[in-house]
Structures are given as C-alpha cells and as structure tokens.
C-alpha cells in the first residue's frame, strides 16, 4: 500500500444534527510530504455554521481542530464545487495514525467571548480564591446555556437526569468523564476554570458584579431560596453582560481542570489550565441547592470526576 493511499482516510461527521447529504460531498484528501490538501463540494451554510477540519490520533477517541489550516473553512464559506482546505502537519510521521475529519459546526447556540485580561480571585473569598491576580485569556465560543436534557439525549441516546423534569432543564447526573465524552462528540471541550470565570464575569464587558450578571442573585440565578428545591429550565433568569444564562446557580458546571486549593499562587499568567494531576475536578457557579455565597463568580468547588450528581451539569466551549 502506498503512503498516499494509506493516508486518505477521511471521516465525515456532521454535528450536532444530521444535515442534508448535499451539504458536504465529494471529499478527497491529497497528501504530499507534510502537506495536506482536502477538496470538497459544499451546499449552503446557515449564518452561524462553520466548516472546520481536525484529526484523530487515538483510534477515534480524541478529535483536535487543526488551527493553522487555510482556505475554504470557518464561517461564511461560499457554496460551490472544489472548495479547498490546506495545512501542513509536523512531524510528517503523524500520518501513520491520523484520520482527518471534516465537520460542520453549528455556533447558533454559542457566544463568542473576546479574549482579554482580567483579575481572577477574591480578597474576600475562601482561601482557594486567593491571591487575586491578573490573567490573560484567548478568545473562545461558549454555549449560551448549560447542555439540556434534550440536547444530551439527542447526541448520547439517553437521559441520565431524574424523571419528571422538563427536557429544557440542564442535564444532570453526568460525571466529568461523561461530560467530556459529550463534548468530544460535538467538536467541543469543557471550559478551563479560568475561561469559565472570565465568561461568567461577562468577558471584556464585565460590570464587576458579585454574581454572573448582577449583584442581586434573584435576578440571574436559581439557588436554595428561590428554586423550590429543584433544577429549573434554562434561560428563565436574566443573562449576564455577554449574553450567557445561568452561570450563577441552577447547576454547578464541570470545568476541565483538576482542583488544587493553592493553584492561584502557582498559575501562569496566560491561559492557565490547572494542575497536571489531582483527585477532584473543578466545578463552578453553584446550583439550585446552594446558598448564595456559593454562586459568586469567584467561588470554586470540586467533586469526584467519576460520579454524577443531581446538582452538576456542564456547558461546552469551542475554539475558533
């Protein structure tokens, strides 16, 4: 088998919903040395749909977007034949285990958070919120609300949440590992703890509020005094400055990071991603069962990543 024929395996995966067969077709991968060129035909795209390319390196488990690709990709690609994407891969021997994957990603339920610098932590918070320090975050897309039970069931095929709730409630009883699995199947990831707090503060539109979008938690979040002791449907309270709902209260949200009580004294200035190892994973935002102070944007929580809980859900991030 020649090298080029061995490397032309391309998977077509349309997420989060199946689109018409005419939307992406005639996908062909051309390999020459460390250069890769993918040609394809494209039907019409919705305003917030984007063409993106990535690859698998571990038998289909982990998908990563190729960030330096050029050509007909991202938002606003014109329909037509012989659309083309080009990129180089280093080192060339990565080809021996690579499956390239052309995807259309729907950004309609996501918000773009412009990158910037902000002061994380709180002088008035718990010990793990100190010291306050400035960090810089690269821009990212984050889902406007927590993943709902309907969305989770559509992708995974089941709903682990307690029976009797509206499908527009956040999905709960999902472990950190199960949240990661959902994210990978939808071309996303969990937010880092630093990204989560930056988004909860409203990004570069932040008004400096105690909670996500207000100093009065009743206007923006469900917690123990107003939730009727149960999870509530998404987006029933006011959004924060960035247009994100329920980042304070309703359900805690899994973050990508391992938890460490002393991490703030050690974290890097740009795009901190948490400790390399740990026992528990970070959760943020508080829940329907939380007291008010646990719903502050600076408050940090942690839970066992192997278990699901009735108070924990998640939202996804996509890079662009």
DSSP string, 215-249: S-HHHH---TTTSTTS---TT-S---TTS---SSS
Residue 164 scores a pLDDT above 60: yes
Per-residue pLDDT at 91: 58
Per-residue pLDDT at 76: 86
Residues of the chain with CATH 3.90.1580.10: 111-318
* Domain 3-106 indexed as CATH 3.30.70: no
Closest by Cα among 190, 248, 243, 191 to 216 = 248
> pTM of this prediction?
0.80
If one compares 319 and 115, the residue with the highest pLDDT of the two is 115
Per-residue pLDDT at 60: 53
Report the pLDDT averaged over residues 194-212. Answer: 97
Tens digits of per-residue pLDDT, 14-37?
233 333 334 888 999 888 888 889
Per-residue pLDDT at 20: 35
Separation of alpha carbons 268 and 50, rounded Å: 32
Closest by Cα among 269, 268, 263 to 282 = 263
Residues of the chain with CATH 2.60.40: 3-106
Residue 294 scores a pLDDT above 90: yes
Report the pLDDT averaged over residues 66-86. Answer: 91
Helix (H) or strand (E) holding 28, with range, is strand 24-32
- Range with the poorest average pLDDT among 29-43, 100-114, 243-257: 100-114
Residue 101 scores a pLDDT above 90: no
- Range with the poorest average pLDDT among 12-21, 57-66, 169-178, 295-304: 12-21
Half-sphere exposure of 183 (CA within 13 A, CB side): 26
Closest by Cα among 97, 99, 70 to 85 = 70
Q: For 225, phi and psi rounded to 5 degrees?
A: -90, -10
Closest by Cα among 37, 310, 36, 13 to 185 = 13
CATH of 111-318, one of 3.40.50.2300, 2.60.40.10, 3.30.70.3270, 3.90.1580.10: 3.90.1580.10
Per-residue pLDDT at 278: 97
Mean pLDDT of the chain: 87
Question: Is the CB of residue 296 less than 8 Å from the CB of residue 248?
Answer: yes
- Range with the poorest average pLDDT among 29-33, 102-106, 111-115: 102-106
Separation of alpha carbons 288 and 252, rounded Å: 9
Residues, the chain, total? 320
Place of tokens 């449907």: 233
**Which two three-digit tokens encode residue 230?**
């149960």
Per-residue pLDDT at 92: 52
Calculate the alpha carbon distances from 17 to 49, 72, 106, 125 in Å.
12, 21, 9, 42
If one compares 102 and 198, the residue with the highest pLDDT of the two is 198
Report the pLDDT averaged over residues 150-177. Answer: 96
Q: For 129, phi and psi rounded to 5 degrees?
A: -95, 5
């Amino acid at each position: 088998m020649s090298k080029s024929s061995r490397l032309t395996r391309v998977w077509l995966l349309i997420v989060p919903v199946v689109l018409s067969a005419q939307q992406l077709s005639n996908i062909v991968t051309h390999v020459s040395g460390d250069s890769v060129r993918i040609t394809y035909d494209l039907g019409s795209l919705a305003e917030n749909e984007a063409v993106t390319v990535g690859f698998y390196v571990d038998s289909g488990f982990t998908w990563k977007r190729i960030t330096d690709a050029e050509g007909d990709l991202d938002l606003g690609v014109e329909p037509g034949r012989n659309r083309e994407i080009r990129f180089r891969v280093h080192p060339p021997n990565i080809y021996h285990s690579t499956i390239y994957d052309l995807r259309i990603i729907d950004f309609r339920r996501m918000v773009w958070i412009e990158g910037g610098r902000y002061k994380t932590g709180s002088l008035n918070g718990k010990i793990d919120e100190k010291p306050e320090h400035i960090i810089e975050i690269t821009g990212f897309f984050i889902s406007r609300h927590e993943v709902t039970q309907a969305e989770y069931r559509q992708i995974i095929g089941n709903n682990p949440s307690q029976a009797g709730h509206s499908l527009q409630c956040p999905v709960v009883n999902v472990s950190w590992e199960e949240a990661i699995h959902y994210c990978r199947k939808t071309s996303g990831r969990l937010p880092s703890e630093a990204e989560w707090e930056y988004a909860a503060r409203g990004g570069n539109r932040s008004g400096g509020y105690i909670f996500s979008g207000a100093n009065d938690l009743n206007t923006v979040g469900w917690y123990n005094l107003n939730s009727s002791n149960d999870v509530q449907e998404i987006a029933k309270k006011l959004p924060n400055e960035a247009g994100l709902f329920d980042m304070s209260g309703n359900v805690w949200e899994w973050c990508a990071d391992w938890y460490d009580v002393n991490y703030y004294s050690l974290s890097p200035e740009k795009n901190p991603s948490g400790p390399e190892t740990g026992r528990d994973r970070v959760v943020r935002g508080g829940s329907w069962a939380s007291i008010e102070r646990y719903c502050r944007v600076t408050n940090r929580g942690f839970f066992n990543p192997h278990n699901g809980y009735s108070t924990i859900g998640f939202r996804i991030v996509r890079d662009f």
